[in-house]
Amino acid sequence: MMDLLMIENAHLRMRVNPQGGGLQELFSLTHGQPVLWDEGDSALFPMVPLANRVAGNRFAFQGRDIILPQSPVDERFFLHGDGWQSPWQVASRTDTECVLTLRCQHDCGFDYQAVLRYQLREHVLRAELMLTHLGAQPMLYGLGFHPWFYFDERSRLQFSASGYWPEGEHHLPLAWQGDIPPEIDFSTARQGRDGWLNVGYSGWNGVATILRDVMNITITAQTPWLMLFRMSGKSFLCLEPQSHPVNAHHMAGQPGLVVLGPGDSTLFAMEIAVESAA
């Protein structure tokens, strides 16, 4: 097991695990409560070189049939890519931030260097993921973050979106819908139903807030796509900002995905702010 990196300031403490490049903990020292939920695996991890799932675990790109690698955790899909399953190298660390790097090559055409930075800025965690393509042929990439937020029966969630994709077979999206049903509409702050949810939203305004008893947690990212994942009887709620919708590889125009040539880079960032409740 790789050694965890303990990083904190006056407001927040995080434990970073180079194995998988994720956080094992984000804790509010100000409020004496955990921000992220962890049962021993990961409380937050990077999604690289794609987010979520691709139908058939393959896609067409520039006349090529791209067959994605097998995942050690999912028999059907290259689930969330492989960054969260790989050992990252610690490039640098200070009292309030760390930088990790990952070099990956796959026969399908993924050939990249990823740089992951976690930084504490007063009451805010900023996570940045930069990917540089090193292959000779262009390739299609997507990025994201997968945080697990502590969410109990007293918590409420609020964010705005313009539409959603219902969940279909093998957790892949069905046709997009413009009318969000009340049970998955969080345009006003609510606890929501304690049950299985695995919903992709579009037209997200880039801000989501979890309201808790003594603190409010605000997630921000510059993307219109947000995944919501929840399980019945569990004290967590995942809010996953992604650079592209689930299965974008098979959608017209491959929305949100970026084509990178040799030496080209793309950057994805997310912030989690923890403030006292009013």
For 172-196, how does the pLDDT look when each residue is reduced to its tens digit (9 = 90+)?
Answer: 999 999 999 999 999 999 999 899 9
d(CA 65, CA 59): 6
> What would the DSSP string read from start to end of 32-90?
TEESB--SSS-SEEEEBS--S--GGGEEEETTEEEEPPPPSS-SS--TTBSGGGSBPEE
Residue that the structure tokens 């964010």 belong to: 159
Going across the sheet that includes 111-121, the strands are 89-93, 97-105, 111-121, 124-133, 265-276, 215-220, 207-211, 156-159
CATH number of residue 186's parent domain: 2.70.98.10
* Tokens (6 digits) for 269: 């960032």
Q: Which pLDDT belongs to residue 1?
A: 63
Across the chain, what does the average pLDDT equal?
Answer: 96
Q: Which pLDDT belongs to residue 40?
A: 72
Could you tell me the pTM of the whole model?
0.97
Domain around 147: 5-276
Q: Which pLDDT belongs to residue 131?
A: 98
Give the DSSP letter of residue 249.
G
Classify burial at 263, counting beta carbons within 10 Å of its beta carbon; exposed 0-12, middle 13-18, buried 19 or more: exposed
Q: Which pLDDT belongs to residue 2?
A: 77
Q: Does residue 96 surpass a pLDDT of 80?
A: yes
For 134-174, how does the pLDDT look when each residue is reduced to its tens digit (9 = 90+)?
Answer: 999 999 999 999 999 999 999 999 999 999 999 999 999 99
What proportion of the chain, given as a percentage, has pLDDT over 90?
A: 97
Total length of the chain? 278
Domain count, the chain: 1
Q: Does residue 81 surpass a pLDDT of 70?
A: yes
Residue that the structure tokens 């791209």 belong to: 66
Q: Does residue 223 surpass a pLDDT of 90?
A: yes
